[in-house]
Structure 1
């Protein structure tokens, strides 16, 4: 009996010891990315061995927004303690805002749909965010992470936004434009961000779908996004970001696919974009805010992506006052029949300042685009030209643009470069650009120094 008792005690002790072992923390992967510039290794989180926290264990109920939202928040809190995966099981789950925390992976199982409410009240209180390059307090993004490290969204499921109200907000009536004017004036005169409160009855500044704000080691992998109130994926002031294997569909006003802004060391690969605006829009802040933050978008690689629709395949600007350098797009395709203006488009104006340099776009295939292969414009102000004054004039330096190995059936022009007379565009190189049908002119150029095309 004594021997049996000792044996049972040992088994019990080992079982208790095993139960009390610390959960496996978040791991890390490093990714070396080839680029025509010195590209640092990207560090991103590995949640594969972490504990799982299923939202139904925390009270999630389908068709119950309040219970599901609260359950997701509780699961995120629990997962963040030691690192974990918040699991959304198969089925449609109506919810409000989701605020991620460090060491948390929101994981969507196959067949899972997170359906986000379009009630603005569900995205309050206001959070520290941005609107078109200007910092402010506004409605929370549908999924938001602020100053997080090791954070991600993954899985084969879907993130979907209800759009009934956001569609109404697409309009820009006078009250909305007056709110934009007020924000612009506050940003231009260095009013503290805490005082830039933009939630009121008339501003109607739509929230981003996903914003990672000042985060490090970010992974987005595998899921589908359907619809978006505003910019769809927005890494802002982030470092080490991997976006891959996503299927993004959002047709509406300002529905860019992904907007890297003042972010560094980033890879976008193997994604499909079907957008109502630019597919990939590289940003770097607007005017005084960006000059204050002084953080360029740098070391960005985009590869093996398909664009079904979008204003541009790749755009830079016009919010690029912090500077953009070391961008490489490789082996991307525009679907036949896609609605598109340019394959590569750079836009700025006399208020932006900053710089654009060391941009490489290579191995691109497209059927037809309504404008051209390359567009560079330095006087793009849209509605802002007459809405607000120029508080400080700063021109943008644009140089060292490389395009190589393009196959396109039809364009209006190959390149249109409208540089500034005081600060011309410099060093633009086109190589092996095959265009079967140019409907207008090959080149429409003003104020360009050292343009060269080689076949």
Structure 2
């Protein structure tokens, strides 16, 4: 067995490699493989097909997604908000003018509502189908500081829970073919005395309402009864498309947001292109595709007070009730500065996140805490899978390059075990930070199939922390200029799906030089019945026994675990 085929199964549940001892740790790992039972004695077991680090099929899928994401087109007709009474001086409110101009162009069959140079003070703007709100180069839409200008309440989401609340500043509900374009500015007018103080003050005015909303979500209170708005302290998103399709946001600058900046929710066919997002307030995420599919985020600048891009699918019981994942998300050629994370999934991801592709981005700031971030816990639950990241440059960052944590917020306090699997990171070159890799799963639900290929991490204080990880592969990768290639297989083999995970007690280990024993069982396959899965495990364990990879006792333990899972009962 060669050095790059090393595996780790430490007595404790974690692997920590301090920077000063990385070389020694790698040498120790190599030594461990020499004393481990042979994984290839006798006949090699039939492995899962193909190279576990081959991502060519996945990136072909990304090309297919990109090809079907089409920005909307609009008729040539146009109207100016000034013709409907809008005041370009910024003194009088232009709310009615925006409403009337949008209604007129929609009734005419669609087109462009033009916002010329000037400053336009307004309340909420509600878009209609086939309308492109277009800002001229010197145009600024500045949103009112009067909370009443964002009433009546509308159906929206706050941190993954549905409610009726203050309107997002630009809002589109159940529309199609809609856009916000141009080189002008959307100024949310939020600051320490407006919107942000609801989160920043102590005690926080937002906290009681936030807790009450979350209680309603957990108890299944009808959404129509979750009415907040006036007299309450729940901040709206800046721009939100809700249950809509064929969406374009292009060219504009957004700043001083009350909360999340761009929030497509339960929407599809979304393009965000060449946008400038600069807002450093609390919870100022840049883009939050929530329970949305076929989303392209490209050529965009991020300097935000929270995550740059955070992919979401509902919080806790609410996410499970709605049950719509975020999927088919493309993140390309963006520039990310400050933020809690650049490419993020969670924490409100109870409905699942899958098929995320990030390539050709630059993440460059000591104030960027993480490059790839997945945050969850056993209150959220959910499955995050099929995350592909390649050809990204990180000249500087301040935290962890790759960060997956099952202890976020509430930690392991619920009954909904999360799953994180199938993550592929290629050609990531990162400088600085506390860790190259930071992975913390659960014993009963290890983080599985994490592949880091052709990458380098330099100037990190602690190369790696890994707790409850199975199938972490580092290939042609260096940490602090030292080779770090390894295969990490920790703990014991668990079988099942999040609804019911069963421990076998069988020690995990490398069985073919590239994969862990725990990776030999395809639980995610759509099995039709428990019996079918049991028969499959019987076949696999028989082959592994024949190849002298497992013992007869281990075979029996694995088959007993398979018999206790919920696979084939419900998915």
**Does the pair score TM above 0.5?**
yes
Structure richer in strand, relative to its length:
1
What is the aligned counterpart of 1:445 among 463, 466, 470?
466
Give the alignment of 1:62-211 within 5 angstroms.
Answer: 62-63=88-89, 67-81=93-107, 82-163=109-190, 164-171=193-200, 173=203, 175-201=205-231, 203-211=232-240
Aligned to 2:316: 287
Q: What is the distance in 2 between the residues matched to 1:425 and 1:65?
A: 55
Distance change >3 Å, CA 308–CA 406, structure 1 → 2 = same
Compute the displacement of 1:126 (Å).
0.9
Q: What is the distance in 2 between the residues matched to 1:103 and 1:175?
A: 39
Deviations 1:121-174 (A, max 9, x none): 110111101110010111100000000111010011111111241232232525
Q: What is the distance in 2 between the residues matched to 1:94 and 1:34?
A: 46
Deviations 1:84-137 (A, max 9, x none): 100000111111110001111100011111111122111011110111001011
Q: How many residues align?
A: 413
Aligned to 2:14: none
Cα contact 2:88–2:117 (8 A) shared by 1: no
Distance change >3 Å, CA 287–CA 55, structure 1 → 2 = same
What is the aligned counterpart of 2:420 among 387, 392, 398?
398
Compute the displacement of 1:321 (Å).
0.6
Deviations 1:231-289 (A, max 9, x none): 00000000100000111100010000000000000100000011111111111111111
Q: What is the distance in 2 between the residues matched to 1:424 and 1:34?
A: 28
Q: What is the distance in 1 between the residues matched to 2:301 and 2:204?
A: 36
Secondary structure at 1:180's aligned position in 2? helix
Aligned to 2:377: 349
Cα contact 2:431–2:457 (8 A) shared by 1: yes
Q: What is the distance in 2 between the residues matched to 1:454 and 1:378?
A: 25
What is the aligned counterpart of 2:249 among 212, 220, 223?
220
Cα contact 1:65–1:95 (8 A) shared by 2: no
Secondary structure at 1:417's aligned position in 2? strand
Secondary structure at 2:94's aligned position in 1? helix
Deviations 1:165-195 (A, max 9, x none): 1232232525532211111111101100010
- Higher RCO (C-alpha under 8 Å, 6+ residues apart): 2
Aligned to 2:261: 232
Q: What is the distance in 1 between the residues matched to 2:112 and 2:64?
A: 34
Q: What is the distance in 1 between the residues matched to 2:195 and 2:272?
A: 25
Q: What is the distance in 2 between the residues matched to 1:398 and 1:408?
A: 23
Q: What is the distance in 1 between the residues matched to 2:458 and 2:76?
A: 53
Deviations 1:286-339 (A, max 9, x none): 11111121111010100000012111111110000110000000010023x440
Cα contact 2:198–2:206 (8 A) shared by 1: no
Secondary structure at 1:309's aligned position in 2? coil
Q: What is the distance in 1 between the residues matched to 2:210 and 2:199?
A: 14
Matched, 1:299 2:316: no
Secondary structure at 1:252's aligned position in 2? coil
Compute the displacement of 1:435 (Å).
1.7
Secondary structure at 1:86's aligned position in 2? strand
Distance change >3 Å, CA 221–CA 331, structure 1 → 2 = same
**Gaps spanning 5+ residues in structure 1: where?**
1-32
Q: What is the distance in 1 between the residues matched to 2:332 and 2:130?
A: 27
Secondary structure at 1:359's aligned position in 2? strand
Q: What is the distance in 1 between the residues matched to 2:367 and 2:439?
A: 22
Distance change >3 Å, CA 293–CA 285, structure 1 → 2 = same
Cα contact 1:155–1:222 (8 A) shared by 2: yes
RMSD between aligned alpha carbons?
A: 1.8
Aligned to 2:387: 359
Secondary structure at 1:411's aligned position in 2? coil
Q: What is the distance in 2 between the residues matched to 1:174 and 1:412?
A: 31
Q: What is the distance in 1 between the residues matched to 2:127 and 2:335?
A: 29
Cα contact 1:103–1:150 (8 A) shared by 2: yes
